[in-house]
C-alpha cells in the first residue's frame, strides 16, 4: 500500500509540531520550577480558595501549579492541535479545493483516511512524548517529591488518548459534513463541555454523573499520583475508535467537494 498520503501529512505538520513542542518544553520547566520554589506559598493560597475554584484543577504531586499544567495548559495545547488537525484532514482539503486532486491518486478512500488519521496519531504522540520528557527532566532537576517519571508517563498517556479522542471527533464531523469550521467547533466545544462537567458536577454532589465526561477518564484516577488506569484508558480508546468508525463510514458514502 502506498504511504504517500501519510508522508505528506507528516511533512506538512513539522512546523506546528516543533512550535507546540517548544512551547510545552518552556512551560514544563517554568511551571515545575515555580512549583519547586513557591510550593509552600502557593499551597497556603490555594488552601484559602473555595472548593468551587480549586475543583477545576486537581492537586497532586508537585502541588497546585503542576496540577494546572496537566489539567489546563498541556490539555489546551494538545487538544487544540488535535482538533484543528482533525478538522483539516478531510474537511480542510475540501474547503481548499485540493480533495479532487488527492482523490485522483491511486489510493482508496479508506486508505487515504487511514493514513491521515495515522498521521494525526503519530504527530500528536510526538508532541506528547516531548512534553513528557520535558516534565520528567524538569522534575528531576528541581527535585519535585512524588513526581516520578513513571507516573508522568502514565498521565501523558491518559492525556494523549484524551486529545486523540477530540481529534477523532473533529475528523468524524469533518468527514460527515465537509465543513472544517463546524468540525473544529464540535471537537473543541465537546472538549470544553467535558472539562467543565468533570470539574463542576462533583462540586454539585453529582460525582457519578461526572463519569459521562471523557475528561473524567483522563484525571479521575489521578494518574500523576497513581499511575496508569487500564479501564480509563480503554474507555478513551473505545470512544476514539467509535469516532473513527463514524469518520470512515461518512467519508466512504459522501459526495466530496473540492
For the stretch 138-189, pLDDT in tens is 999 988 878 899 999 999 999 999 999 999 999 999 999 999 999 999 999 9
Greater pLDDT, 201 or 256: 201
CA-CA distance, 56 to 58, in Å (whole number)? 7
- At residue 242, the pLDDT reads 98
List the domain boundaries for the chain. Answer: 4-253
Exposed/middle/buried for residue 231 (C-beta within 10 Å: 0-12, 13-18, 19+): exposed
Q: Could you report the per-residue pLDDT of 17-51, keeping only the tens digit for each?
A: 999 999 999 999 998 888 776 655 555 555 555 55
**Dihedral sign, Cα of residue 25, residue 214, residue 241, residue 170:** negative
- Band of the pLDDT at 101, cuts 50, 70, 90? confident
- Give me the DSSP letters along 142-204: HT-TT--HHHHHHHHHHHHHHHHHHHHHHHHHHHHH--HHHHHHHHHHHHHHHHHHHHHTTTT
pLDDT at 181: 96
What is the pLDDT at residue 40? 56
CA distance 111 to 148: 40
Tell me the three cell numbers of residue 174: 469533518
pLDDT at residue number 1: 53
Helix pair angle (109-142, 4-12), 10° resolution: 40
Amino acid at each position: 500500500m502506498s504511504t504517500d498520503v501519510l508522508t505528506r501529512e507528516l511533512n506538512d505538520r513539522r512546523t506546528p509540531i516543533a512550535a507546540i513542542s517548544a512551547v510545552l518544553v518552556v512551560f514544563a520547566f517554568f511551571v515545575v520550577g515555580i512549583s519547586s520554589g513557591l510550593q509552600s506559598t502557593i499551597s497556603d493560597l490555594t488552601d484559602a480558595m473555595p472548593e468551587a475554584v480549586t475543583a477545576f484543577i486537581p492537586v497532586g504531586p508537585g502541588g497546585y501549579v503542576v496540577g494546572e499544567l496537566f489539567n489546563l495548559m498541556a490539555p489546551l495545547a494538545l487538544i487544540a492541535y488535535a482538533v484543528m488537525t482533525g478538522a483539516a484532514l478531510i474537511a480542510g482539503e475540501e474547503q481548499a479545493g485540493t480533495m479532487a486532486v488527492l482523490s485522483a491518486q491511486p489510493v482508496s478512500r479508506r486508505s487515504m483516511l487511514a493514513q491521515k488519521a495515522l498521521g494525526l496519531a503519530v504527530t500528536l504522540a510526538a508532541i506528547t512524548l516531548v512534553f513528557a520528557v520535558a516534565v520528567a527532566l524538569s522534575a528531576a532537576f528541581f527535585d519535585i517529591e512524588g513526581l516520578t517519571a513513571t507516573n508522568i508517563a502514565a498521565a501523558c498517556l491518559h492525556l494523549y488518548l484524551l486529545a486523540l479522542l477530540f481529534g477523532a471527533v473533529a475528523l468524524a464531523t469533518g468527514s460527515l459534513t465537509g465543513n472544517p469550521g463546524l468540525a473544529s467547533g464540535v471537537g473543541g466545544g465537546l472538549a470544553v463541555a467535558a472539562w467543565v462537567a468533570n470539574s463542576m458536577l462533583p462540586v454539585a454532589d453529582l460525582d457519578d454523573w461526572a463519569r459521562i465526561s471523557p475528561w473524567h477518564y483522563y484525571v479521575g484516577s489521578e494518574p500523576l499520583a497513581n499511575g496508569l488506569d487500564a479501564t480509563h484508558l480503554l474507555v478513551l480508546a473505545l470512544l476514539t475508535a467509535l469516532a473513527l468508525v463514524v469518520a470512515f463510514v461518512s467519508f466512504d458514502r459522501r459526495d466530496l467537494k473540492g
